[in-house]
Amino acid sequence: MNDKVINFIIEHHMIKEGDRVLVALSGGPDSVCLLHILYSLRDELNISIGAAHINHLLRGEDSFEDEKYVKKVCNELNIPCYVRRVQIEAVAKEKGISSEMAGREARYEFFDEIVKNEGFTKVAIAHNANDQAETVLMRMMRGTGLDGLVGIRPVRDEIFIRPILCLTREEIENYCEYNKLEPRIDRTNLESIYSRNKVRLEMIPFIKRNFNRDIIESLNRLASLASIDSDYIDKSALDIYSDFCIEKSGMIVIKKDAFLVHESLLTRVIRKAIFYVAKATYNYEMKHIYDIIVLQRGSTGKSINIPNNVVVENSYGDIIITIKQNNNHDNKEYVLVKRELSVKNIETFRLEGLLYDVQIEVKQNSKKIDLNSSDLIKYFDYDKIKERIIIRSRKNGDKIKPLGMNGTKKIKDIFIDKKIPNNLRDHIPLVCFDSDIAWIVGVNISDIFKVTNNTKNILQISFKERK
Amino acid sequence: MNDKVINFIIEHHMIKEGDRVLVALSGGPDSVCLLHILYSLRDELNISIGAAHINHLLRGEDSFEDEKYVKKVCNELNIPCYVRRVQIEAVAKEKGISSEMAGREARYEFFDEIVKNEGFTKVAIAHNANDQAETVLMRMMRGTGLDGLVGIRPVRDEIFIRPILCLTREEIENYCEYNKLEPRIDRTNLESIYSRNKVRLEMIPFIKRNFNRDIIESLNRLASLASIDSDYIDKSALDIYSDFCIEKSGMIVIKKDAFLVHESLLTRVIRKAIFYVAKATYNYEMKHIYDIIVLQRGSTGKSINIPNNVVVENSYGDIIITIKQNNNHDNKEYVLVKRELSVKNIETFRLEGLLYDVQIEVKQNSKKIDLNSSDLIKYFDYDKIKERIIIRSRKNGDKIKPLGMNGTKKIKDIFIDKKIPNNLRDHIPLVCFDSDIAWIVGVNISDIFKVTNNTKNILQISFKERK
């Protein structure tokens, strides 16, 4: 058994020499077995061990018996034991979440604290091969793809490890019996175990009887193979994402060439892009992913709405994903009064609707200024401004006299010429001096306010996209 | 329903304009529904339709009633109907196979014949979404990886198509009822349906009751996602296989760099390499694949045996897979008597043990011959040969006087110097003239028989690897 666990630890790079491993110890057979195995391997692995127990105060006297048992075990092994008591039901009520969720949160909060305060490097959790098989079966029954079949991961975030995920419940019970460990009950009544019990007590015995005595091992093998395949596909998809997706200020562009890669990768790239914008992937189904693929094959300018207020637009074959803006078109204007700007002072503004920070600086003209250093930093003849500097988004009928041109041009036509996506047009700031548009930020400046040899004072305006 | 089927046909590129589609028609609801849907779409898809029915003669009068029904249906639709009667049980007995297997063989043989003789381009088979869900569940229960979860493929070999794999059994039954099709029984008692019935009548209802009413759809979605992911990984693995595997004469070399790629691909490359040598992959488990990976990380010269008489050897980090040779070391010798070779005649021999064909030709010396054109074509001074030309594999103590050297060298040392894998050494032919080794084929020739300016007649020997 120790060999099996050691091989599993090595295979998944769970532990390195010198690690300090905190064992999540409920007092049930799984966690007690885990503690004992790691304890017996502590010299071989060159690790030190501690234990953490959370008393959920849910089962009256029994909870305190669990706590006492856990302390006794740790005392016998002479390892530190960290215990916390939490009124789980009160917390759940207060937060309006299930006691299962509240228990989970309390546990991980407690682990995090101990890891930080006591210098632990790993947290060992006692899931076993039966838990894994049940998880895979439940995922499969509820509907999943490859990623869901991975089930419980042997290692998460490089900190949480599950060294006995390779042992069946039977092996663990035999181990406890053989070593006279006399663990406490298996689990608290925290977990929503209705479904899991249906699987454990009815479905798996049914499968064992009729199809496969080794169903636990078979499902664990499936999880392990799925994990390897899923890892490969995820890594390949990440390469594509890096190559073809441009993240900026809460929106993302998926370049059209991404849509030429294999569907297996493309669907994952799109899912990741949605996640970047929406900060979540629940609510999204494969249907939405395929809707986006169909949108991309259609014509430019078309857009669709998907859940969580997300808009997806086809812009000349590229796909742009943004959060829908409030459509009240009396957009905010940011107005600065000229006489309040002091020469040589730098002022910074945060423009909420426009996703930018703005810096304004007045200085004397000098040959040293590179007027074209950046699309987001521009220079204007300060003395041509009468009263006000206004920063706003576009309105119907907006016009500009583009740099170097005699006539004026509609902003809308400029957007079309430059192939700027529909969805973005409302997010591009316009800088106006009094009633004239001086700068379509990132696109074009006006001829009227350009810096010439006669310019005395310069107004420098810098826009910076917020990450 | 027709729309659903049409979309499914398009999605999987099942049918193109002008196709002639042969429907496998048992007379049950699935195949009758399939026939009617394809018939109603025949103009839209621009296809023509026929039907094939095999009468297994298994259920007495009922079998003939099925046949009659099928003929009637085809007659009403005015489409050609091909019928064959086969004594399935007799065939099964004769071949010593199950009647399920015999039925399958008989069906596909019949389809192949009609396709060839009557110019059909597709064979449509009536599997439905429930069949798919059951297959996925059964695979999962018996133990599988991603590839098994693909289940029943919508298209196989570009000929066999399953247009109603997207319809549930319920949808099909409703279709039949609505269109008053009155199909015959669902299936013959050919199929080994014990397991499938357990899944259909017990397990799926259990899952519907306790977990997911849409389990059929969920499992079909899983199969479809698995198919996409599996296709991507297979294609990537095939690229690696092409880059790093060298197939020759029933053996294969996996170059060591292949072992640097992702495990997801590597395991599939190894499986494919085994298949090339063993012509089958049953009997092989993931364990054997991982044994090979471990072998590759070990030291050169080590080898392992895996099932079906296959030997795997580490040769300087490359992996060589071969079929084990019979180890009786009195290997065959092929002896040619010199006086029986006639000048200007070409003679060809097939050397069974040595995996080569050999061509021997005697010609006059001429400046035009390029002595170093190929490692497998060499030229010798014909007149220095006394009596016999012998082709054989190595024996203990074999020596050669290598070209350009004065002394002799052990063949074994030459093999070691040239890093020729252990496994291959017995397969390299040696050409001897009388008692001297004249040529280690592909490696080195002897100084004794080299062609010089004084050579009058040349013996040209060409070896050709058998594919």
Which residues in chain B have their CB less than 8 angstroms from residue A231's CB?
Answer: 262, 264
Are A231 and B264 inside 8 Å of each other by CB?
A: yes
Per cent of chain A over pLDDT 70 is 93
- Chain B positions in Cβ-Cβ contact with residue A265 (cut-off 8 Å): 232
Euclidean distance between CA atoms A169 and A129, whole angstroms: 7
Verify that A307 and A379 share a domain, yes or no: no
Q: For position A234, what pLDDT does the model report?
A: 96
**Does B366 share its domain with B304?**
no
CATH code of the domain in which B371 resides:
3.50.40.10
pLDDT at A338: 74
Distance CA B225, CA B9 (A): 17
- Interchain contact, B222 vs A263, CB within 8 Å: no
Domain of B353 in residue numbering reads as: 334-465
Taking Cα atoms as reference points, which of A448, A420, A416 lies closest to residue A432?
A448
pLDDT confidence of residue A159? 93
pLDDT per position as a tens digit, A142-152:
889 999 999 99
| A329 inside domain | no
> Cα A31 to chain center, whole Å?
30
Write the DSSP assignment of B173-226 as a string of letters: HHHHHHTT-----S--TTS--HHHHHIIIIIHHHHHHHT-TTHHHHHHHHHHHH
A286 in a domain, yes or no?
yes
- Condensed to tens digits (0 to 9), the pLDDT of residues A224-248 reads 999 999 999 999 999 999 999 998 7
Tell me how close the Cα of A97 comes to any Cα of chain B, in angstroms: 22
Instruction: Find all residues with CB under 8 Å of A467, minimum gap 6, and list them.
Output: A249
Please determine, for residue A281, whether its predicted confidence score (pLDDT) is greater than 60.
yes
Q: Quote the CA–CA distance of A79 and B288 in Å, as a whole number.
A: 42
Cβ within 8 Å of residue B349, ≥6 positions away? B334, B336, B357, B358, B359, B360, B391
What's the pLDDT band for A154 if we cut at 50, 70, 90?
very high
How many Å lie between the alpha carbon of B101 and the closest alpha carbon of chain A?
Answer: 21
| A211-239 core/surface letters (b: 16 or more CB in 10 A; e: else) | bbeebbebbbbbbbbbbbbbebbbebbee
Of B207, B264, B267, the CB nearest to A141: B207
A341 vs B101 pLDDT, higher one: B101
pLDDT at A384 over 70: yes
Residue A234 lies in a domain: no
* pLDDT above 90 coverage of chain A, percent: 50
Give me the pLDDT at residue B396, please. Answer: 84
Q: Is the pLDDT confidence value at A164 over 60?
A: yes
A26 among annotated binding-site residues:
yes
Q: What is the CATH number of the domain that holds B275?
A: 3.30.465
Distance CA B449, CA B197 (A): 75
Side-chain-side CA neighbours of A189 within 13 Å: the count stands at 7
Tell me the average pLDDT across B37-51.
94
**How do residues B258-286 score in pLDDT, each as one tens digit?**
999 999 999 999 999 999 988 877 778 88
Q: What is the distance between the alpha carbons of residues B36 and B177, in angstroms, rounded to a whole number?
A: 12
Q: Which amino acid is at B31?
A: S
Whether B210 and B186 share a structural domain: yes
Instruction: Single out the residue in A323, A352, A377 at which a domain terminates.
Output: A323
Distance from the B94 Cα atom to the nearest Cα atom in chain A, whole angstroms: 30
Q: Which residues of A touch B231 (CB under 8 A)?
A: 262, 264
Q: Are B21 and B122 in contact (CB under 8 A)?
A: yes
Is the pLDDT confidence value at B330 over 60? no
Q: Which of B142, B149, B229 to mutate to test the interface with A (most CBs of A within 10 A)?
A: B229
CATH code (residue B32): 3.40.50.620
Domain boundary at A273, A292, A323, which?
Answer: A323
Q: Is A371 exposed, middle or buried (0-12, 13-18, 19+ CB in 10 A)?
A: exposed
Element housing B48 (H / E): strand B48-55
A132/A281 same-domain check: no
Answer yes or no: do B319 and B348 share one domain: no
- Rounded to an integer, what distance in angstroms lies between the CA atom of residue A408 and that of residue A416? 15
Contact of A225 with chain B, judged by CB distance below 8 Å, is answered with yes
Size of interface A-B (CB pairs under 8 A): 112
Q: Report the DSSP pairing between strands B436-440 and A160-161.
A: unpaired
Residue of chain B nearest A220, judged by CA positions: B143
Average the pLDDT over A206-223 and give the result.
93
Residue B264 lies in a domain: yes
Kindly indicate the confidence band of residue A349, based on its pLDDT and cuts at 50, 70 and 90: low
Q: Is B7 on the interface with A (CB under 8 A)?
A: no
CB B383 within 8 A of CB B455: yes
Name the pLDDT band for B254 (thresholds 50, 70, 90): very high
pLDDT for A424 beyond 90 = no
Q: Is B209 on the interface with A (CB under 8 A)?
A: no
* Structural domain contains residue A359: yes
Cα of first residue to Cα of last residue in chain A, in angstroms, is 50
A137 and A23 housed in the same domain: yes
Confidence at B197, pLDDT banded by 50, 70, 90? confident
Are A355 and A432 found together in one domain? yes
List, as own/partner pairs, every contact residues A133-136 make where C-beta atoms lie below 8 angstroms and the sequence separation is at least 24, other chains included. A133/A204, A133/A215, A133/A216, A133/A219, A133/A220, A134/A196, A134/A199, A134/A200, A134/A204, A135/A223, A136/A219, A136/A220, A136/A222, A136/A223
The answer to whether position A224 is within a domain reads no
Same domain, B175 and B256: no
Mean pLDDT of B35-49: 94
Report the pLDDT averaged over residues A116-141.
94
Domain membership flag for residue A140: yes
Does the CB of B294 have a partner CB in chain A at under 8 Å?
A: no
Same domain flag for B266 and B399: no
pLDDT-derived band at B357, boundaries 50, 70, 90? confident
Predicted confidence at residue B43, as pLDDT, reads 93
Is residue B422 less than 8 Å (CB to CB) from chain A? no
- Judge if A53 and A201 occupy the same domain: yes
Contact at CB, B229 and A232, closer than 8 angstroms: no
Nearest chain A residue to B194 by CA distance is: A210
| Strand pairing category for B457-465 and B356-364 | antiparallel
Domain end marker among A291, A323, A355? A323
B292 in a domain, yes or no?
yes
The identity of residue B340, as a single letter, is E
Among B232, B285, B286, which would you mutate to test the A interface (most chain A Cβ atoms within 10 Å of its Cβ)? B232
Average of per-residue pLDDT values in chain A: 87
- For an interface test with B, the pick among A141, A218, A220 (most B C-beta atoms closer than 10 Å) comes out as A141
Type of residue at A24 = A
Whole-number pLDDT of residue B189: 45
What residue has token string 């198509």? B161
Give A454: exposed, middle or buried? Use CB within 10 Å, 0-12, 13-18, 19+. Answer: exposed
**How many domains in chain B?**
3
Same domain, yes or no: B102 and B182 = yes
Are B35 and B123 contacting, i.e. CB atoms less than 8 angstroms apart? Answer: no
Average pLDDT over residues B56-72: 87
pLDDT at residue number B149: 94
Same domain, B82 and B131: yes
Per the annotation, does B27 bind a ligand? Answer: yes
From chain B, the residues in CB contact with A205 under 8 A are none
Q: What pLDDT is stored for residue B7 in this prediction?
A: 92
Q: Chain A closest CA to B262's CA: distance in Å? A: 7
* The predicted structure's pLDDT at residue B331: 61
Interface test with A, best of B192, B211, B266, B269 (most A CBs within 10 A): B211
Least confident of A63-77, A365-379, B196-210, B322-336: B322-336
